[in-house]
Structure 1
């Protein structure tokens, strides 16, 4: 018997409803992951491309100091898993988010709260100081992601918690981790070969953001534009840096995207090397070329090689 117009409308309605239910079911199954920094959002997307990922900060923000906005509280409240750096990097704002979100899955000590700093050995631990000493991290430098070797144990820890939160995809997460690990190890070897000419290069920096990167590549930081960690450069301190580096100028003066480039530009001008000033991303950005972890390291190495 031929189908009537009413039958066809009914069939289309059922098909549409089925599609909506399937989409809803699929969306319900996808994990929601909150990350404190963009590098961890990029890592989660490598390991769980189907996950819904929200980063609290971006490359043009200082991750030490952000506002605990209502949108971030809501994002953490709904998260199945959270990945942050730890080691005091987010001490000024993450505890407030956790308290106000009230999500038991992502409280300290809960399986769903992953701290990258707990997975690696940190460099440069310092004894606790007073607020007048600046951003001093007693556990060690928290900017661990800029040594790409550190991302391997962090990826393992994140994968373990993805599997715990989403056991139906356990095999898929294992396969993604294996693929990431193999490709990442190959990239590390390639970056080390490309960056061999940088070994022994001298740089002036602002803050210790790139400390792991320098140590990995054998680059020597010879001056810091900050008088104290996290405090902005002052004219007197910049003058002292100039006097200390004038006779043997560094190959580059490096600041992060979220830092004011003008002190570095002044130093470069005074040293007669304005072209040596580099404002570099310290994490994954939204711009093409540095919108992935691999792209970030490609970009950093290429920019530094251009100063040699």
Structure 2
């Protein structure tokens, strides 16, 4: 039997890159966070998508549970935020899963922040600064422009892993782009009333949302990133709030709101609990619903 040398060379190259052709199978996708699972589902609606975290978990702090190890072991593609958001748990998961495709962005690993410009990059980081990210704020999913860039890059990664279905991924990307670009001006018009408002936040979770909508986070419930509110720090925030220009205290769905409630009781400021990602409330069933939800909740109190 004669073997086509071109076919053989292409096959050997594919295997050397750790890419397995899946012409008759759907991608098995491991999402570190729900927002990237949601984007993956837009691009590959028939894929098996599993999210390692929920909107009620701190994505910085995850245990490498046996169920997560098993899911990553079977994954063709892992989609994560990157910029060291998962540095405390993803390496352990990769090691225990022993799936070579999950160890390199040249293969089946995808970091969203590799494909956008992040805010708040730092030239130097040390422990005295708290839980900060030298590569920039990793919570880019509240920037609509950046998320469009991420979706395009993710579609390209899917094509790399599953070239037989490249046309399908491109068609789904085009549909998503059209819907997303149509939604952005509507969100911006709806959020116009928020421009120039000042809030006290918790961590820098909504850094990109506030940057996009023109909201200013004037203070943080954390004395340093990753450090819970202390009595002395809350007292300083109380003095800041008495200046009268703060509209609300904003916390994410997974964050401890005790400090926020303490401050609210003494200032009369409303506490706004926002979903951090898809699944954070009944409206946030996808990225479109998530954006509509956070804008609506902010408008309801930041007046």
Residues in 2 aligned to 1:237 and 1:103: alpha-carbon distance in whole angstroms: 45
Deviations 1:100-129 (A, max 9, x none): 111111213333111000110000112443
Match of 1:176 in 2: 172
Give the deviation of 1:287 after TM superposition. Answer: 4.3
2:88 pairs with 84, 87, 92, which one? 92
- Which residue of structure 1 lines up, in the alignment, with residue 49 of structure 2? 53
Please tell me whether residue 142 in structure 1 is matched to residue 120 in structure 2.
no
In the alignment of these two chains, the number of paired residues is 281
Is 2:259 the partner of 1:302?
A: no
Residue in structure 1 matched with residue 11 of structure 2 by the alignment: none
Post-superposition CA distance 1:79-100 (Å, at most 9, x none): 0011011101000000111111
For 1:279, the equivalent position in structure 2 comes to 273
In the TM superposition, 1:149-188 aligns within 5 A as 149-188=145-184
Contact 2:159–2:166 (Cα < 8 Å) also in 1: yes
Partners of 2:202 and 2:280 in 1: how far apart?
Answer: 23
CA contact (8 A) 1:128 1:136 kept: no
CA shift for structure 1 position 132: 4.0
Q: Paired residue for 1:8?
A: none
Deviations 1:236-286 (A, max 9, x none): 10000110121214111000111111111111111123xx10111111116
SS in 2 for 1:284: coil
Q: 1:36 maps to which residue? A: 32
Answer whether contact 1:134 1:229 (CA < 8 A) is retained. yes
Alignment of 1:105-254 (within 5 A): 105-254=101-250
Give structure 2 stretches of 5+ with no counterpart.
Answer: 1-21
Q: Is the contact between residue 73 and residue 97 of structure 2 (CA under 8 Å) also seen in structure 1?
A: yes
1:128–1:137 CA contact under 8 A, matched in 2? no
Distance 1:127 1:269 in 2: 39
Q: Which has the larger radius of gyration?
A: 1
Give the Cα–Cα distance (whole angstroms) in 1 for the partners of residues 58 and 122 of structure 2.
Answer: 21
Which of the residues 281, 284, 290 maps onto 2:284? 290
Q: Residues of 2 paired with 1:129 and 1:155: CA distance?
A: 30
Q: How far off is 1:198 after superposition? A: 0.6
Q: Gaps (5+ residues) in structure 1?
A: 1-25
Of 262, 268, 271, the match for 2:264: 268
1:258 aligned to 2:254? yes
- Displacement after TM superposition at 1:29 (Å): 0.7
CA contact (8 A) 1:249 1:271 kept: no
Instruction: Give the TM-score normalised by structure 1.
Output: 0.88
d(CA) in 1 for partners of 2:48 and 2:145? 26
Once superposed, what is the RMSD of the aligned Cα atoms? 1.5
Given that residues 146 and 282 in structure 1 are in contact (C-alpha distance below 8 angstroms), is that contact kept between their aligned partners in structure 2? no
1:208-229 superposed Cα distances (whole Å, 9 cap, x missing partner): 0000000000001111000000
